[in-house]
Structure formats: C-alpha cells, structure tokens
Structure 1
Amino acid sequence: MNRGFETQMRLAIAVALLTVLCASAARAELRVCNKTRNMVALAVGTFDGKDWSSRGWFYAAPKQCAVLIKGTLGSRYYYLHGVHLNVDGGWDGNRGFCVSTKNFAINGRTDCEARGYKRAGFFEIDTGEKESWTTNLSD
C-alpha cells in the first residue's frame, strides 16, 4: 500500500472520530423544555459531592427549551424549580434551596433568609447517570 495514502487515511479517520466525539460532547447538557403556553423562569439546584448550590434564572419561552447545565452531567441528581411568569402556577418540590428575585448563583442551601435570599421548593430529577438529560414542563 502507498505510504502517503495510508497516512492520509489514518488522518481522515482521526478527523472523523474527533468530529463525532466533539459533536457528542456539545450535545451533553441538562435541558428543560417548556411545553406550556406561558414563559417560565427556571432555577437549578446541584450537589457536587461536597457543596450544595443553586443558580437561576434561566428562561424558556412557550414551546422552547433552556439549557441549565452545559456539558456532560457530573451528577445523577439535579433539582429544579420553575415559575410561570405573569400567571399563577409553577413547579416545586420538597427540596429546599435558596433563590433570589434577580439572577443568582448561591452557595449552600441553609439559612436562606438570614443571608438575604428566599427559600423555595425544588423537585428532584434523577438522570440515571446519563451524560445528557431533558425534562419537559407542562400545564
């Protein structure tokens, strides 16, 4: 076999594999899709094995999705809180995290009020240790 051709083939295979790997990594994320007729605001709670934290707000228009965490998911469990904007209702649960009325990134989930935040209920999402996960919110 021609040595130049063999080198070109190896290079082409390496480029193809790298393209596939990069495309897969780019799609890995925690995504929430809004299947309602109203805009929603979203907050996510996480535990990194040592510390709890919460972040928000992420927004999803009707029939659109929001990416809350980009990249491969590093945990099995995430916690979600959602609010319908301009109408009553939302999605919450029995896991308390700190939130703010403005965009936030808060370390810890205790003493929310003493630190100037509100406490809100979040529901658990079990990703089954998948690298990527989508949750749909509906009325």
Structure 2
Amino acid sequence: MGLAGSAAAQDAATVIPADPTLVGQTTEWQVCNETSYVLRTASAFLRGGGMAAKGWNEVLPGACIIITTPVSGPRFLFAESIAAHQGGVREWKGTTPLCVDETTDFTSSATQDCRLSNRTERNFFAVRPGEPVTSLVEPSEFGRTKSVVAAQQRLLRDAGYAITRIDGLPGRKTSRLLRAFRKDHDLDATVSDEPLMRALIAAAQDAQDSVGLEVCNQSSAAIWTAVATLENGKWRSRGWWRAAPEECTRPLDIPLPGTEAHVFAVQEGEDGADKRLRTVATTPAQFCIAESKFDALGKDMCIEQGYAVASFRPVPTEDRGARMRLSDADFSEQTPGGLRR
C-alpha cells in the first residue's frame, strides 16, 4: 500500500486528546485517509520517556485526525482496514514491530514482549520526524474528495449491492444504488456525509457476518484452522486461525459459491499430542500445510516445496455463508510428529 505526505492545509479534522505523558515541545500531526477503506490507526512515538504505541483511532475516508506529538524524535504509524470490508484486512505497514491489542484504547511499550503481554505484533512504518501531514493512499490515488465516493462504492459492494468498479466517480450507477440503499434502510433522501457512511458501514458489517466460513469450537481444547479455496482456477491453502473453547473464528470472509472451500483443523493436546480433524469423504482432498503461518499456492508437489500434506474436509458452498461447529468427536489421534504452531 502506498504512502504520501503533504503540508497542504486540510479541512477540519478530529482532534485526538493529547497524551498526558508527553513532555517538551509538541506539534500537531495530521493523519489523513485518502483510501476507499475505513481505517483504524495506531501511532508510536516518545511517550513518558520511552517509545510506545497507542491506538486505535478510526479514520473515515476523506477525513483526518490530529495527533499531538513531540516536535522531534522517531515517529511510526500503522493502519488497517476495518472488518466490515470483504476480502480480508488490508494493512499500511512497514518493518518496525510493535505490540497492539484489540481494545479500543491501548498503550504498549516498545520494550514489551508481545506474547508475554497477550498482545499481537504489527509492523509499523517510519514517518519523517516533523512531517505535518501523513496521507494513507492506494495505488488509485483517489485524494481526499474522490476517496469518499470510492468508499461509498466499496461499502455498497460489501453490503451486497451490484457495484462493479471502485473508481471514486459519482456516476449514474453509484447514485442509483445509493438511492436504493437509502430506501432499503429507511434513510431520508437527503442524508449524506458521515451519517450515510455510518449506515453503509453497519450494512457492510451485517453482510460480512452472513458470508464466508465461521468455525466454532465446541470442543474441550483450543483448535487451529486452515482453509483451501479455488481462486482463478488455482488452489490456495492458508493457516492458521485459533479459537479457544466456546469461541468462533472466521477464516473466510468472502461469499462461498465458486470457492470449492475445504477446511482442516487440529485440536491442541497435552504434551504436543495434537489431534486432527476427521475426514468425511472416502477419498479426501489433500492440500499443503505448514507448522507455522503459511500461504501455499497449488495442491501438488507439497513435500517438494517444503510443506506437509493434510486431508481437508469439504465445506458446503451453495449459500453465501456457512458455520461449522467442531466438537471433540470431530478430532482423532494422529501419528507422531504432528503440527504445532
């Protein structure tokens, strides 16, 4: 994903309350969203005498937030698209690993071990110290104005409306579908700007919750899930998604018809004795897997490419979404040398 900086004057922006631990001279730093995605951001700079990351701050397309930062010193930023968008999370990232968590207001020290603090790691990108405006962009380079229309188009498509192009141009089809959306959701014909964007986000999230594959863990131990799908005529297998007992995870967030989706899972066992998901087909489909996080193209020559092979279970793909509930009975013992992430 692209990045761009500009010192040009911006419209009114949301001001993020200043961190009380800041010392010395400060300045205002604008972070602007010029993409077709609703983003959440986390920033990192010197806080309380040490480098610390803080988030999350939502930034709507075409909008900016203002963060109070030290005048000098290193500065970093990370951004990702919200879960309401289909097709997986997009990231605006770099190479500096820092800890984040899912709470809406977190602060983490750069010296923390993410695993020991029950947090995950994100790769932040460096921002030039003193840069007044950092714009998050896409290759299409919509700019502040076109990004609003592009976001409306993307959210309409995420919500199930027949948008074929995300170009940021307010054409007749986009206008017609926005009118249909307002009517379908009992919105006043004049509603626009942020209220319309909020309604679109809510509709996209509702649609997201009804598509793809959700795997719910009804077993007595944590499970790890991998999926395989047919994309543009080629097989692709990916993993892993973890779910504790009584939790669910969503490894696929796209409509299922045409994906020929398959799923594989392992259940954590004592002393590394993991159990594998039982197959249900006489001749189960086999795909590439790996011990740690993986993304493998193709289903042949797995061993030659450094992968292991596992038998996957087919997923019903007639409907846009499916839910799979896995219990202890769905897992069986495996031979020594099983998978552990």
Change (3 A) 1:17 1:54: same
Distance change (3 Å), C-alpha of 1:117 and 1:106:
same
Aligned to 1:35: 218
SS of structure 2 residue aligned to 1:10: coil
**Which residue does 2:166 correspond to in 1?**
none
Residues 35-94 of structure 1, C-alpha deviations (whole Å, 9 max, x = no match): 001011111011124100100011110010111012433535311111111244221431
CA RMSD of aligned residues (A): 2.5
Report if aligned partners of 1:76, 1:126 keep a CA contact under 8 Å in 2. Answer: no
| 1:135 partner letter | M
**Which is worse superposed, 65-74 or 97-106?**
65-74
| Aligned pairs (5 A) from 1:1-139 | 9-12=188-191, 15=196, 18=200, 21-27=203-209, 28-75=211-258, 77-86=260-269, 87-93=273-279, 94-128=284-318, 130-139=319-328
Q: Aligned equivalents of 1:100 and 1:88: distance in 2?
A: 14
Seen in structure 2, the aligned counterparts of structure 1 residues 12 and 89 have a Cα distance that, compared at 3 Å, is same
Cα offset for 1:127?
2.4
Q: Which protein has greater RCO, CA pairs closer than 8 Å, 6+ apart?
A: 1
Residue aligned with 2:265, SS: strand
* TM-score, structure 2 as length reference: 0.35
The worse-fitting range, judged by mean Cα deviation, of 119-128 and 24-33 is 24-33
SS at 1:126 equivalent: coil
More helix by share: 1
**Structure number with higher strand proportion:** 1
Select the structure of larger CA radius of gyration.
Answer: 2
CA distance in 1, matches of 2:293, 2:301: 19
Q: Tell me, which stretches of 5 or more residues in structure 2 are unaligned?
A: 1-186, 329-341
Do the aligned partners of residues 92 and 81 (structure 1) sit closer, same or farther apart at CA in structure 2, a change above 3 Å counting? Answer: farther
TM superposition shift of 1:133:
1.5
Which sits farther off after the overlay, 30-39 or 11-20?
A: 11-20
Unaligned runs of 5+ in 1: 1-7
Q: State, as a whole percentage, how many aligned pairs show the same letter.
A: 26
Q: TM-score, normalised by structure 1?
A: 0.81
Deviation (angstroms), 1:19: 5.7
Moved more, 72-81 or 44-53: 72-81
* Contact in 2 for aligned 1:98/1:120 (Cα 8 Å): yes
Structure 1 residue 135: Cα displacement? 0.7
